[in-house]
Amino acid sequence: MGEQLRRQEIARSTNEASGASPLLEARLWPACGARTHLIVALALGFVVGLSYSSAFRTAEFPGGFALDNKFIVLEDPRLHNATKDNIRLIFTQDYWWPKGTAGLYRPVTTLSYLFNFAVLGNKDHAIGYLIINVLLHWANALLVYFLALILLENYWLATFTAALFAAHPLGTEVVTNIVGRADEFAALSVLGGFLLYVKSTTVTGWRKVPWLAGLMLTTALGVFCKESAVVMIGAIVAYDFVYRIQPKRPQWLLNLVSNSWGFLHTGYVWLMPPLVGLWVVRAHLFSNLPPPELPFVDNPLVDANFWISRLTAIKVIGHYLGLLVWPWSLSCDYSYNQIPLVTWWFRTWEDWKTALALLAVVAIVIVTVRQFRRNKAACFFILFGFLCFLPASNLVFICGTIMAERLMYLPMIGFAGCAVITIHSVATCLARRLRGRPGTKLHLHPEPQIASMLAGPILCALVVLYGARTFVRNFDWQNDVTLWTSAVRVCPNSFKTHKSLAYALYEKDGPGYKNIDRIIREAEEATRITDMAPIKDRASIVYLHLGTYYRIKGDKLLQRVGTDTFAVSGQSAQYYHKAIDTLLQAVNIDHQFNEMQREKDLRRGRRPEQIRDAGNQEIYLHLGLTYMRLLKYGNALQEFFYAQHLVPNNPDIYLNIGRAYLAMGQKEDAAVALLQTYLLDNSRRDVGGQLLELYRDLDRDNCAIIGVDNKSQLNLGCPIIRRHVCLAYLGLTRVFIEAKQEALARQFKDIAIKNYSCAPEEFNRLLP
């Protein structure tokens, strides 16, 4: 709050203490007029629109869904139709459902994706999603303007503060990246709630209630959009500490406690319901879901000791400060081992970066203390930026990532405010000196006007430079190939940049796989980096992908021995063996992951018989397929069975089991497995054709198939078909029991007995 509001608050408190009538409602900012605000809003819209205009070109179909957008938007079945069941799932499942459990709960943000996908009909056209993101960024920039107007009491400086925020390139990971909408919503909540809180401090009595109720509602919406909206507490505490501390007690500590008690019962208490509500809902929800993962390769600080992790976190702060000032080299990922852990010997440049970052942090602390009395706005902007960043800083607790540019979205406001104040302060000092020179005509102009003439062009140039970098950065977000190519260039030591670029090229290539050699090179580089981590901390997906690429390379080297027949050559066999060796490393890591998840569940109080095995079915499926290439069908079946145990409702696994049995000549077992595939997914026409061909060989009574040619179908009244169907249901029941999914197992049992008259004895042994 500016000096004007501070003086008004002190005067009001004095009046109340002396029994005089309280002040009328105070102004939040100097009177500028609605026309001025409208012009500023349009100017900010122009800055946002120009900076992000290139994003709309990259969002043309089929682009725009890079990074996590495919999983969270396109592949989330809850978004496909606006039904009650889907809305219920949004409020009762993790943000990443059905892909996994990440420990994130953001139902309001997911509802906004549903609005885009199903209500507006945007589906897989990214432009509709991007329009909403850009509008939200514009709204946030406008709120930054009003916040700065309160603090700086100058619409010109406030406008530049908002413009720097609007144009800064670090915002691209929030605005251009569709799922960055969660950060935009959180910022909208924090900024809106902050303005409501400041407004509540300008009135007394019951007139506070509407503003504080609005604060409570805004906070509730914010924390259910993204958990980081809890930094609302830090924003208003910083405001109260800088602007509202009043001399109530002679001793400073008692005075601080006395003021804090007043702030608590007249304002902070309104934040308790949404924060407690979030905690209760999350506790209930995640107690019934698998424990979330916090992979070492995403944040190596997980396994570091306290001091190493905090020193490394300070080094990361130095990276952030550098990007705020000079956002030239930007990346969507900083995973292991792009930012190495600090060592105590300080032998490398990476270690000395920590020392420089620590010096920068100490300097910022000193500046903050000095500015507390000299320039309260500067002090507040520094505190605001720090407190908004603190939960994701890895200083207080270890979060899900070691570094991510999107985490700077709210702290950018603090940087923008400090940049404007610094440039204007330097310009004011220069104006004071220039105005005093007798040989110039500047003494004819007021000092503030001279300062504006000096600072204006510099701030305009900074906005233009940041906006131009944002414009160029948007092109990187066109698709996964462009995004990860850029990330590999900026972060060559991150395993994920190489792994993701390889996978992006793999998806783009299609069945031809023309770039398979480049794909393998990138995947091998990702594996080389991952191999530097302890085996328990490695990512199995890296080895899964590389093993799959080796198998594809082996397929391309097969020798043609007929029109449709291929044989394994020496070169292809070499790649198949490399694939198996690599996938077996993935198996080892996956089993260790399962043990760690089991230990987490046991610590949560769950009984051993309730805990399902965790793992990545794709590892075992691809390992089985590779064994099939080398005619090792027994090994292939073993891997398929474990994949079936992990995900018993995947029909592709049963299909591969059936094909393995066929290759071994066990036709009846193959028929049962193919029937299980069909029972899980009756739309599989390829399976129906294979079953017809199989029963033409197996059926000795000539009753298994009825109809002719294209109208042929299985006869469920035939004894061999009925026997195999019962065996198929019995097998499904057993598999689902072993996978700790008893409810589905009972469904299969009931269907088998009621619909197909299967003998209940075998089923009752499994499910009494």
Tens-place pLDDT, residues 735-748: 999 998 999 999 99
CATH number, domain with residue 507: 1.25.40.10
Q: Is residue 434 part of a domain?
A: no
Closest CA to 530 of 494, 490, 584: 494
Alpha-helix residue ranges (DSSP H) falling in 201-266: 208-223, 232-239, 252-266
Picking from 617, 647, 677, the residue at the C-terminal end of a domain is 647
- Say if residue 70 is in the same domain as residue 101: yes
Nearest-angstrom CA–CA distance, 416 and 423? 11
Amino acid residing at 256: L
pLDDT of 114 > 60? The answer is yes
Residue 228 shares a structural domain with residue 305: yes
Residue 602 lies in a domain: yes
How confident is the model at residue 247, as a pLDDT?
Answer: 84
Q: Is residue 473 part of a domain?
A: no
Task: Output helix, strand, coil percentages for the chain, rounded to the nearest 5.
Answer: 75, 0, 25
pLDDT at 716: 84
pLDDT-based confidence at 32, cuts 50/70/90?
confident
Q: Note the helical H segments in 607-718.
A: 617-629, 633-646, 651-664, 667-680, 685-698
Considering only CA atoms, which of 477, 442, 365, 432 is closest in space to residue 60? 477
* C-alpha pair distances (Å), 400 with each of 32, 107, 393: 44, 19, 10
Highest mean pLDDT (candidates 528-532, 680-684, 712-716): 528-532
Same domain, 642 and 707: no
| Residue 442: per-residue pLDDT | 54
CA distance 224 to 671: 49
Average pLDDT in the 388-405 region?
94
Q: What is the pLDDT of residues 399-424, one digit of tens each?
A: 989 999 999 999 999 999 999 999 99
What is the C-alpha to C-alpha distance for residues 412 and 550, in angstroms, rounded to an integer?
Answer: 44
Residue 41 included in any domain? no
- Our separate counts of H helices and E strands in the chain read 32, 4
Q: Which residues contact 338 (CB under 8 A, 6 or more apart)?
A: 491, 493, 494, 497
Query: How many domains does the chain fold into?
Result: 3
Assigned domain for 500 exists: yes
Position 183: which residue type?
A: D
Residue 252: how many other CB atoms lie within 10 Å: 10
Same domain, 404 and 536: no
225 and 345 both lie in a single domain: yes
**Cα–Cα–Cα angle for 44, 48, 53, nearest 5°?**
145
Please indicate, yes or no, whether residues 632 and 667 belong to a single structural domain of this protein: no
User: Which region, left, alpha or beta, applies to residue 24 given φ > 0 means left and ψ of -120 to 50 means alpha?
Assistant: beta
| 80, 178: one domain | yes
For the record, the structure tokens of 40 come out as: 């500023």
First to last CA, the chain: 71
- Distance, in Å, from the CA atom of 676 to the CA atom of 748, rounded to the nearest integer, reads 11
**pLDDT for residue 552 is more than 80:** yes
482 within a domain of the structure (yes/no)? no
- In-domain check, residue 135: yes
Asked whether residue 131 carries a pLDDT value surpassing 90, the answer given is: yes
Q: How many CB atoms lie within 10 A of CB 367?
A: 17
Query: Is 417 in contact with 161 (CB distance < 8 Å)?
Result: yes
pLDDT of residue 17: 42
Is residue 558 over pLDDT 90? no
**Lowest mean per-residue pLDDT among 5-19, 120-134, 304-318, 631-645:** 5-19
Do 389 and 252 lie in one domain? The reply is yes
Query: Are 232 and 353 part of one and the same domain?
Result: yes
At 295, list the tokens: 């992979």
Compute the distance between CA of residue 417 and CA of residue 433 in angstroms, rounded to an integer: 25
| Cis amide leading into 710 (omega within 30) | no
**445 pLDDT higher than 60:** no
Regarding whether 695 and 633 lie in a shared domain, the answer is: no
Question: What is the residue-wise DSSP string for 144-181?
Answer: HHHHHHHHH--HHHHHHHHHHHHH-GGGHHHHTSGGGH
End residue of a domain, out of 375, 394, 428: 428
Q: What is the pLDDT of residue 330?
A: 97
Instruction: Report the distance separating Cα 21 and Cα 8, nearest Å.
Output: 13
Domain co-membership, 298 together with 343: yes
Distance CA 470, CA 51 (A): 6
Domain assignment of residue 730, yes or no: yes
- Which residue matches tokens 């503030």? 448
Report, as an integer, the average pLDDT of 332-355: 90
Q: Which domain holds residue 118?
A: 3-11+51-428
Name which of 5-9, 299-303, 589-593 the model is least confident about: 5-9
Q: What is the mean pLDDT of the segment spanning 432-442?
A: 63
pLDDT-derived band at 8, boundaries 50, 70, 90: low
Q: What pLDDT score was predicted for residue 23?
A: 37
Q: What percent of the chain has pLDDT over 70?
A: 93
Give the domain-ending residue among 394, 412, 428. Answer: 428
pLDDT of residue 14: 44
Q: Is residue 451 pLDDT above 90, yes or no?
A: no
**Model pLDDT, residue 21:** 33
Residues 161 and 186 in one domain: yes
Joined together, the tokens standing for residue 464 give 């233009």
Contact of 472 with 173, CB cutoff 8 Å: no
